[in-house]
Amino acid sequence: MDIRNEVLSRVYITFFVLCGFSLFIFARAVNISVFEGDKWSAKGDSLYLKYIPVQAERGNIIADSGELLASALPFFEIRFDPNSTGMKAIHFEREVDSLAYCLANYVDNSRNHFEWLEYLKYHRKKGTRNILIKKEASLSEKNEIQKFPLFSRGQYKGGLILDRKSKRQRPFSMLAHRTIGYVRENAQPVGLEGYFDKELAGSEGMRLVQRVGRDYIPVSDLDEIESVAGKDIKTTLNVNFQDIAQSELIKGLKKHDADFGCAVVMEVQTGAIKAIANVKNSESGFWENYNYAVGTAVEQGSTFKLASIMSLLEDKKIELEDLINIENGETAFFEERMVDASMACKDIDTTTIRRAFELSSNVGIAKLVQHYYGTNNKAGEFVERLKKMGLGEKTGITILGEAQPYLKEAYSKKDNWSGISLPWMSIGYESTMTPLQMLTFYNGVANGGKMMKPYLVDQVEEFGETVRKFKPEVLLPKMASSKTIQLVQDLLLGVVENGTAKKLKSNRVQFAGKTGTAQTNYSKIDRSSKLKYRASFAGYFPADNPKYSVIVMVENPKVFGFYGSQVAGPIFKGIAEGIFESEMDLHVALNEKGIPRRVNSKMKGKHVGNKEDFKEIFKNLNIPYRDNIAENKWVQLQPRRDSLNLYPKIFSEELVPNVVGMGLKDALHLLESRGLKVKTSGVGKVRLQSIKSGTAAKGQSIWLTLK
Per-residue pLDDT averaged across 65-71, rounded?
Answer: 86
pLDDT value for 580 = 94
Instruction: Identify the sign of the CA torsion 34, 38, 39, 43.
Output: positive
Q: Compare 588 and 145 and report the one with higher pLDDT.
A: 145
Residue 46: band (very low, low, confident or very high) from pLDDT cuts 50, 70, 90: very low
Domains and CATH numbers, the chain: 52-232 (3.90.1310.10), 240-585 (3.40.710.10), 601-706 (no CATH)
Q: Name every residue whose Cβ is closer than 8 Å to that of residue 22 and which is 6 or more positions away in sequence.
A: none
Residues 445-467 pLDDT 10s: 999 999 999 999 999 998 888 99
What residue type is assigned to position 251 of the chain? Answer: K
Region for residue 683 given its phi and psi (left: phi exceeds 0; alpha: psi -120 to 50; beta: otherwise): beta
pLDDT value for 485 = 97
Average pLDDT across the chain, whole number: 86
* Residue 91 near residue 157 (C-beta atoms within 8 A): yes
Q: By mean pLDDT, which of 73-87, 350-364, 581-595, 646-660 is the weakest?
A: 581-595
Angle among Cα 128, 131, 137 to the nearest 5 degrees reads: 165
pLDDT value for 243 = 92
Instruction: Please state, as a whole number, how many other Cβ atoms lie within 10 Å of the Cβ of residue 235.
Output: 24
Residue 519 has pLDDT above 70, yes or no: yes
First to last CA, the chain: 121
Give the rounded distance of the alpha carbon of 291 from its chain centre. Answer: 10
Q: Is 675 helix (H, G, I), strand (E, B) or coil?
A: coil
Q: How far is CA 172 from CA 262, 334, 339, 641, 676, in A?
A: 18, 54, 45, 26, 26
pLDDT value for 477 = 97
pLDDT value for 615 = 77
Give the Cα separation of 120 and 117 in Å (integer). 5
Q: By mean pLDDT, which of 31-45, 169-183, 372-386 is the weakest?
A: 31-45
Q: Name every residue whose Cβ is closer than 8 Å to that of residue 672 and which is 6 or more positions away in sequence.
A: 678
Instruction: Identify the sign of the CA torsion 198, 203, 206, 212.
Output: negative
What residue type is assigned to position 3 of the chain? Answer: I
Residues 616-641 pLDDT 10s: 777 777 777 766 555 667 777 766 65
**How many residues are listed for the chain in this entry?**
707
| Nearest in space to 514 (alpha carbons), one of 556, 553, 475 | 553
Q: How far is CA 266 from CA 508, 510, 576, 615, in A?
A: 20, 17, 12, 36
* Residue 265 near residue 547 (C-beta atoms within 8 A): no
Whole-structure pTM value: 0.72
Residues 386-431 pLDDT 10s: 999 999 999 999 998 899 999 999 999 999 999 999 999 999 999 9
β-bridge mates for residue 332, sequence order: 337
Residue 297: band (very low, low, confident or very high) from pLDDT cuts 50, 70, 90: very high
Q: Compare 486 and 686 and report the one with higher pLDDT.
A: 486
What residue type is assigned to position 72 of the chain? Answer: A
Residue 1 has pLDDT above 80, yes or no: no
β-bridge mates for residue 417, sequence order: none
Give the Cα separation of 292 and 655 in Å (integer). 34
β-bridge mates for residue 459, sequence order: 234, 469
Q: By mean pLDDT, which of 177-186, 228-237, 329-338, 518-527 is the weakest?
A: 518-527
* Range among 16-30, 54-68, 522-536 rated most confident: 54-68
Residue 598 has pLDDT above 50, yes or no: no
* Residue 220 near residue 243 (C-beta atoms within 8 A): no
Q: By mean pLDDT, which of 373-382, 495-504, 667-676 is the weakest?
A: 667-676
pLDDT value for 45 = 46
Angle among Cα 483, 489, 493 to the nearest 5 degrees reads: 145
